[in-house]
Each structure stands twice: as C-alpha cells, then as structure tokens.
Amino acid sequence: MTMRCNKIIGILLILIFLIVFFSCSYFLLKDFFELKESDEDTEELIEDAIEIIADTEDEDVKTSIDWNYLKSTNQDIIGWIEIEDTNINYPILKDNDNLYYLKHSYNKKYNSNGSIFTLDNKPFEIEETLIYGHNMRNNKSMFSQLGNYLDKDFLYSHRNIKIYTPNQNYIGEIFSCYSIGIETENSNIKPLDFNKKIEYYKKASKYKMDSTDKINKIVKLSTCSYINARTHPTNQRYYIIANLIPTE
C-alpha cells in the first residue's frame, strides 16, 4: 500500500513539474514573440516614417518625420521620443481609453510590451507632459533603460532627450532623476504649482544638475522601478525630468 502511495505521489509530482515547466515555457515564448513583434513593427514604422538627413557642410544631422504617414497609421500618434545610444526610439501615443496602450502597440495589436504613451489632454502644449512606458525587465525595450539614469556616467552621457511633434521639436535637457513610491510622489507634487514643482524635482534628484535655459515647459518620463526587488517591480517609479527647449 505504501509503495502504491509513493508511486501515486511520484506521478503527481511529475505532473505538477510538467505543468509548471510548460506554463513557464509558454509565458517565456509568449514574451519572446511579443517582444520580437514589437521590435519588428517599430523598425518598420521607423523605416517608413523617419528620414535622417545629413548636412555635409556643417556636419549637422536632422530627423524628418512624415506625420501624415504616422497619422494614417494611427491618429493617436502625437509625437516621437528618441534618446541617442539607447533603445528609446518610439512613437508617443495619446491614450484616450483607460490605459489602452499599456497593453497595445501603436498599431493597436495586443502586446504586453505596450507603447510609450501619455494621458495628458494637451501634451507638449501644457507646462508638464507626463509620459509612461513599461520597464520590461527581461529585455531592453520601451522604458527599460530609464533606471540607468541613476548611474552618474550614464546620466551625463545621455542627458538629452529628443522630442518631435507635428508643430514643434524639442531638446529635453534632463535636470532631475530619482526613484520614489508612486503614492509618495503624487502626494508630494499634488499641492505644488509649476515653479514649486521644478524646485521639488531639483531637490528630489539623485544628482544636482544645472539647466542652461529657463524652465518654462518640461517632460516627465515614468516607468516601474525594480529597486530593492529582484524579479518584480515595487511600488516605486523611476522619474526622469527634462527641460523642454524648442528647436528649429
């Protein structure tokens, strides 16, 4: 009887192991193929909508974006964000449907990598535009590299953010970077006007940085933080704040 029980227990353990193994394999493969699809779709969009123009006389490089094409692809595309020498080179979506782009690509296909998006009603027209993106720990997609800004060398070698919109392009000069609990952050900034927010962001920053221009308009990048966690994000967020300086 004991041998029979041990045999049954052994079979059950093997079945449990197989279920766990195939479940893990399924989710890993799902993540892999979703990442691959997201990267391929973004690369295709870049190829179709963005042209890099090099001026041989002054060695200047300019980016030309076909906004008509982007709008024909998805009317919710309201901008583009690029940080040189990182993976961050994505369209910015205006989310009008309860965090729809948290789990959908710019082409409205379901994808756990989501999109780079904002919930603000008049992005880049208002004083502060907040932009969200996933921190996909298992890869370098979306806003996964924002956590690197807490490293001083990375910060100073990637201090400028390029923001393109149909009406105006900007250089975003980063002047603050930190990680804090989302509830704490919301509570801290809720009673502040714009100028007091700027002072708060400067004081909260891990590194003290001067901004070369007067700060009239900012962009705030947000993603989940893995500080003090090995596998799952905490309730903290990485926040990267930049002074938006209009360019020609």
Tallying the residues shown for the chain, one arrives at 248
CATH of 76-247, one of 3.20.20.60, 2.40.260.10, 3.30.300.30, 3.40.50.1000: 2.40.260.10
> Over pLDDT 90: what percentage of the chain?
60
Residue 24 has pLDDT above 50, yes or no: no
Q: Which amino acid is at 232?
A: H
For 220, phi then psi, to 5°, come to -120, 115
pLDDT tens for each residue of 175-214: 999 999 999 999 999 999 999 999 999 999 999 987 667 8
pLDDT at residue 238, rounded to an integer: 95
Residue 26 has pLDDT above 90, yes or no: no
Full-model pTM:
0.81
Query: Across residues 102-107, what is the average pLDDT?
Result: 93
pLDDT tens for each residue of 126-164: 999 999 999 976 667 899 999 999 999 999 999 999 999
Q: Return the number of other C-beta atoms located less than 10 Å from residue 204's C-beta.
A: 17
pLDDT tens for each residue of 111-126: 988 999 999 999 999 9
Binned at pLDDT 50, 70 and 90, residue 82 comes out as very high
Binned at pLDDT 50, 70 and 90, residue 41 comes out as confident
Binned at pLDDT 50, 70 and 90, residue 47 comes out as confident
Extents of the domains making up the chain: 76-247
Q: What is the largest CA-CA distance in the chain?
A: 89
Q: Which residues contact 50 (CB under 8 A, 6 or more apart)?
A: 63, 64, 65, 66, 80
SS (H, E, C) the chain: CHHHHHHHHHHHHHHHHHHHHHHHHHHHHHHHHHHHHHHHHHHHHHHHHEEEEEECCCCEEEEEECHHHHHHHCCCEEEEEECCCCCCEEEEEECCCCCHHHCECCCCCECCCCCEEECCCCCCCCCEEEEECCECCCCCCECHHHHHHHCHHHHHHCCEEEEECCCCEEEEEEEEEEEEEHHHHHHHHCCCCHHHHHHHHHHHCCCCCCCCCCCCCEEEEEEECCCCCCCCCCCEEEEEEEEEEEEC
Binned at pLDDT 50, 70 and 90, residue 220 comes out as very high
Dist. CA 91–CA 36, nearest whole Å:
17
pLDDT at residue 214, rounded to an integer: 87
Which residue from 246, 224, 34, 37 is spatially nearest to 143, judged by alpha carbons? 224
Which residue from 108, 172, 183 is spatially nearest to 146, judged by alpha carbons? 172
Lowest mean pLDDT among 57-61, 68-72, 86-90: 57-61
